[in-house]
Structures are given as C-alpha cells and as structure tokens.
Amino acid sequence: MSAPTLKIEDLKLAFKTHRGLIEVLHGISLHIRKGERVALVGESGSGKSVTARIVLGLLQQMKTARIAGKLEFEGRELDRLSRRDRHQLRGTKMSMIFQDPTSSLNPTYTIGVQFREVLDRAKPGISAADARLKAVEALADVSIHEPERVLDSYAFQLSGGMNQRVMIAMALANNPSLLLADEPGTALDVTVQAQTLRLMSTLAEKHHTAVLFISHNLGVVREFADRVYVIYQGNIVEQGPTGALFDNPRHPYTRALLAAVPRITGGGIPDIAETTDDFFAPLAAHAGFSEKELLA
C-alpha cells in the first residue's frame, strides 16, 4: 500500500508562557489516505485547529510554540525537508479552507487578483489571461454561474455562501493532495453550509484530494466523513468509521458529545458534566480501526 497522504505520529504541542509551559496536544496520532475524508471532532479549545496549522507549518513561526512528533506527507518527513521545500508545499500540495469565508479574503483586491496569486503558487509567472481562464473554470466547478462577474467583485460585494464557494475553488484550483477544512462555513447559515460542503466534498473526490475536516458539528461530520477521530483536551479519545462511531460510541466523552446534540423533537440540551474523570479514559479504537491496524 502506498504511503498515506498525511501521517501524524505522537504530535505534541506546548506554548511557552510566563507561567511555564502550557501543553495543548499530548501526543496525537492520525493519518489520512489518498482521497479519504477524515474528520477531527472536538469542542473548541481541544486542539483541532492547531493540528491543521502545524501540518501547514504556520504554527512553527510562533516563537512560543514548542512542537514535537513526526509529520509525514506522502511518505516524506516534513521536518526533514528544507524550509524552502516545505514552504513550496503550501498552497500547491496542501491548502486550507477557513471558518469565515468573507473575512478570509483580502478586502482591497478583487477575487480575480487573489485567484491569480493562488494560481501563481503552482505556476509561477502565470499570465493574467491564463489565470483568468483557469479561475473561470474553477469557479464554474463550484457552480458559480457568472464567474466573470465574481472575479471582478470584491469579497464584501458577494454573499457569504458565494465567498465560501470562491474559497473552495481557490483551495482546489492547484489540485492539492490534502485539503484542510477548518470549521468550513461555520459562519454561514445551515442550508448554505450544507450546500457548499457538498460541493467541496464532490469536488475533492473528483480531484482525488484527501480532506481533513475539522469540526465541532456532528451533523456535518456524519454526512461528510469516512472516518472520525474524536479529540478531547489534546488527546484522541476515540477513532473509528463514521457509522460505527455514531451508532456505538465507546468512549464516555464521545457519548457525552453525541448526547449534547440538540434534538428537533425538543427536550432541551441534556445536562452533561463540564469534565469528568471518564473523559480522560484511554483511547477507544473501533475494531480494525486503530492506527496500528490501519497502517499495517
């Protein structure tokens, strides 16, 4: 079997503060194979987003961040790459989609100008005409009917859903092998979010792009992920295939998380403890879905 697109082994992260080190990730391991859609689920502050930023190499620039562990991308150990080679991967082989599409676009340039900057990463010196042609194509792929008009617009002139499509189109324009989706569209309303996520999912499939979904939204995860990792306070507490994990949650924290989903039938949100000792129970992997078995 070929090397997984992304393999994280025993990743640890701590921030140095004036009160000493604060540990954020206590050694998490996960992997994603080519074209796979994997979700990393947890509450805010659990360490989901920092994981994505470490993969991209964004957190490494922070002077206070202490990072340990092994990151492999398509079989290459990322920390062994030269700075330049590692930088080269960003925006070409891996790209990211952010929470709030409208504020993630530069307000002083048109979509078209920014699209060209993105395409320029994979094809340095791409001409304006070529870039425009490719951008129009990419926007058509995310079902934008007037790509020309959108390219000449500024982010603040477009709706949130439209900007989200633009972000998806940009993220996939260079055919990356890995797409990191950090709470994609959380800032959008639910129907628009579902629409754009479906688009992202089918498009990722078409490009054979592996997706790491980072989310606290279990409904989204259930619909779009093949496999799920549940993260709690910097530890992976449960992992398994989406269906089995939702039908038969093993770890106390996962059960609490699933119980916290509000039901349309009413009854309010169940009372669950902020934190109990149970939540720190060791990792529960579903049969055949531990890192060891999956990577064998």
Partner 1 sequence: MPSLIRLLAKRLGTSLIVLIGVSLLIFAIARVIPGDPARIALGPNATAEAIAALRDRLHLDQSFLTQYGYFLADLVRGDLGTSLYTNRPVTSDIAQFLPATLELVIIAGLMMVAFGLPLGILSARHRGTFIDHAIRMVTLLGVSAPGFVWAVILMLVFAYFLPLFPIAGRISDSFTIPPVSGFLLIDTLLAGNIRAFGNAAWHIVLPAFALALSGIGQAARLVRSNMVETYDKPYIEMAQSYGFAEKRIARRYAFRPSLIPSLTIIGLDFAAMLGNAFLVEAVFAWPGLSRYGVAVILRKDLNAIVGTVLIMSALFLIVNIVVDLLVSIINPRIRLSQRAS
For residue 35, the SS3 value is coil
- Tell whether residue 154 is a contact of partner 1 (CB under 8 A): yes
Residue whose entry in the numeric block shows the structure tokens 């688009």: 199
Pick from 47, 91, 147, 185 the residue near partner 1 by CB under 8 A: 91
| Minimum distance from residue 179 beta carbon to partner 1 (Å) | 11
Chain-centroid distance of CA 13 in Å reads 18
Report whether 184 contacts 172 (CB < 8 A).
no
- Tell whether residue 186 is a contact of partner 1 (CB under 8 A): no
Distances in Å between the Cα of 129 and the Cα atoms of 75, 125, 226, 270 are: 36, 11, 39, 56
Pick from 8, 11, 89, 144 the residue near partner 1 by CB under 8 A: 89
**Binding segment for partner 1 among 18-26, 82-90, 208-216, 279-287 (CB under 8 A)?**
82-90
- Tell whether residue 56 is a contact of partner 1 (CB under 8 A): yes
| Minimum distance from residue 145 beta carbon to partner 1 (Å) | 22
- Tell whether residue 246 is a contact of partner 1 (CB under 8 A): no
- Tell whether residue 149 is a contact of partner 1 (CB under 8 A): no
- Tell whether residue 115 is a contact of partner 1 (CB under 8 A): no
- Tell whether residue 106 is a contact of partner 1 (CB under 8 A): yes
CA atoms within 13 A on the CB side of 276: 11
Pick from 26, 66, 121, 216 the residue near partner 1 by CB under 8 A: 121
- Tell whether residue 295 is a contact of partner 1 (CB under 8 A): no
- Tell whether residue 81 is a contact of partner 1 (CB under 8 A): no
CA distance 163 to 104: 9
Pick from 76, 90, 207, 222 the residue near partner 1 by CB under 8 A: 90
Pick from 60, 104, 195, 290 the residue near partner 1 by CB under 8 A: 104
- Tell whether residue 64 is a contact of partner 1 (CB under 8 A): no
Report whether 174 contacts 138 (CB < 8 A).
no
- Tell whether residue 15 is a contact of partner 1 (CB under 8 A): no
Name the token pair of 285.
């992997």
Report whether 25 contacts 13 (CB < 8 A).
yes
- Tell whether residue 127 is a contact of partner 1 (CB under 8 A): no
Report whether 52 contacts 212 (CB < 8 A).
yes
CA distance 26 to 19: 19
- Tell whether residue 168 is a contact of partner 1 (CB under 8 A): no
CA distance 50 to 48: 6
Which residue type does 296 have?
A
CA distance 194 to 164: 11
| Minimum distance from residue 41 beta carbon to partner 1 (Å) | 21
Beta bridge partners of 37: 211
- Tell whether residue 92 is a contact of partner 1 (CB under 8 A): yes
**Binding segment for partner 1 among 8-16, 87-95, 210-218, 258-266 (CB under 8 A)?**
87-95
Q: Please give the full DSSP string across 123-137, using - where no structure is assigned.
A: STT--HHHHHHHHHH
- Judged by beta carbon, residue 20 or residue 107, the one nearer partner 1 is 107
Which residues are near partner 1 by CB under 8 A? 56, 58, 87-92, 95-96, 98-100, 103-110, 117-118, 121, 154, 156-157
